[in-house]
Amino acid sequence: MTASCHSFKKILAVVIMAFLPAFVMPAAGQSSAWELPGLRESIKAVSVGVGNISTRETYMSELSYSGISASFNEDIWKCHSPQSMFGYGRSHTSVLLGYMYNRPRSGRLLYLDFEYFYSRGWKAVHTKASDLLLGPAAMFKLGGLYNMSGSNNLATGEGYLSLGLCADYTYRFRIKEHPFALQAGMYSLLAGATIAPEYDQPYWYMYKYGQYGRAIHFAWTGNCPAVNGQVALVCPVGKGRLRMGCSLDYLGNRLGGHVTRVANTAFTIGYVRTFELKDWRL
C-alpha cells in the first residue's frame, strides 16, 4: 500500500466521520429499515465506493500491483410473484475503476470492469427479524487491465458469462425506537465460460486470426473463483434510507497456463428507495 493511498484513505475517513452523525440519525417514525418488496414494488439501492484494489497476473511475467479503486453500484430488488418458488428478482450492476502501482512504484496499471448479474430468489427464511433469499444467478462481466509501461501487451482483457448462486440475508433490529437493518449479500460463480489467452497468445492474434476458440475456457468454482460479497447497514434518514457498508469483489482464474487475480475491497455509501410499480393495464 502506498503512502499516497494511506493519506487519501485518511482524508476520506475524516470526511465521512464528520458527516456521519448528520446522516445516521434514524427517523423514529418508520416501522422498518428494510422489508422485502411487495408485489408491484421495487427497491433500488445506489451506492458509490472507494477502496483498495490489488491484482496479480502472470501473462508474460509476474505482475503484482495494488492501489485505489472507485466504484458505482446499483442493486434492484423486485417481487415478481410472492407465491412462486423463485418469486424475487435482483439485478446488480457495477462499474469499477482501479489505479495501481507495482511494489517498486515504477509501473502503473489501470483497471476497468463492468459487472452485471441477475438472480431469482427463493425465500428460504422469512421471519419478523430476518429474511434470506437464495437462488440461481447469471453473471456477465467484462473488464481489462491497461499496463502503462507494457510493450505490445499493453492491455489484457477478461470476460465472464456464468451461472452462479446468489444469497441475500437481511436482519432487522432496533436500537431504542430506531429501526435498522443489517444486510449481507453474496454472488458466487459456479460454472460458465471465460476468456484467457493460451499461454503467450497475443490478444491481437485472437482478432487477426480469429483464434477466439483457443482462448475461451470452461470456468467453474475450482479454476475460476469469482465472488461478490457485501455487508451493509441500512437506516432510515428522514423519508429516505441510507445504506453504507463494505464490499468485496474477488475474481481469479488459473487458465491458459497463467494466473489472473483481482481483489477489491471498498467502503460503500448510498441510498435506498422503494418504488411502486403502476399497473397500467385496463
Partner 1 sequence: MNRRRLYLTLVLCPVILLGLTVSCYSNGRDMDAEYANTPMGNFTSLWTIMDRNYCFFDYKKQELGVDWDEVFDRYSKYISDGMGNRALFEVLCQMLAELRDGHVNLVSSYDVGRSWHIKKDYATNFSEDIRRDYLGTDYVIAGSGYYYKILPDNIGYLAVESFEYRPSASRLNTMFLQMMICNGLIIDVRNNGGGNSWAADDLASRFTEKRVLTGYSCYKKGPGHNDFSKLEENWLEPDMYNIRWIKPVVVLTNRGCYSTTNEFVNIMRYLPNVTLLGDTTGGGGGLPFSGELPNGWTVRFSSAPSYDASMQQIEGGVAPDVRLDMDEADIKAGVDTYIERARKLINDRIVNP
Binding site for partner 1 (CB under 8 A): 58, 60-64, 102-107, 124-127, 132, 134, 149-153, 165, 167, 188, 198-202, 204-205, 208-209, 211, 214, 221-225, 227, 250, 252-254, 257-259, 261
Contact 141, 114 (CB under 8 A): yes
* Complex with partner 1: residue 58 or 265, whichever CB lies closer: 58
Q: How far is the CB of 93 from partner 1 (least distance, A)?
A: 22
* Complex with partner 1: residue 124 or 277, whichever CB lies closer: 124
Q: How far is the CB of 214 from partner 1 (least distance, A)?
A: 8
* Complex with partner 1: residue 34 or 101, whichever CB lies closer: 101
Q: How far is the CB of 34 from partner 1 (least distance, A)?
A: 19
CA distances 259 to 56, 69, 125, 150, 240, Å, are 7, 21, 38, 18, 44
Q: How far is the CB of 82 from partner 1 (least distance, A)?
A: 15
* Complex with partner 1: residue 28 or 191, whichever CB lies closer: 191
CA distances 100 to 96, 112, 166, 187, 220, Å, are 13, 11, 30, 25, 28
Q: How far apart are CA 147 and CA 124, in angstroms?
A: 45
CA distances 279 to 11, 41, 42, 80, 264, Å, are 47, 11, 13, 13, 40
| DSSP symbol at 20 | H
* Complex with partner 1: residue 47 or 183, whichever CB lies closer: 183
Q: How far is the CB of 51 from partner 1 (least distance, A)?
A: 18
Per the listing, cell 493460451 goes with 198
* Complex with partner 1: residue 176 or 208, whichever CB lies closer: 208
- Decide: helix, strand or coil at residue 241: strand
| DSSP symbol at 28 | T
Q: How far is the CB of 237 from partner 1 (least distance, A)?
A: 31
Taking Cα atoms as reference points, which of 7, 3, 5, 13 lies closest to residue 246? 13
* Complex with partner 1: residue 235 or 249, whichever CB lies closer: 249
Which amino acid would we find at residue 185?
Answer: G
Which amino acid would we find at residue 181?
Answer: A
Q: How far is the CB of 53 from partner 1 (least distance, A)?
A: 15
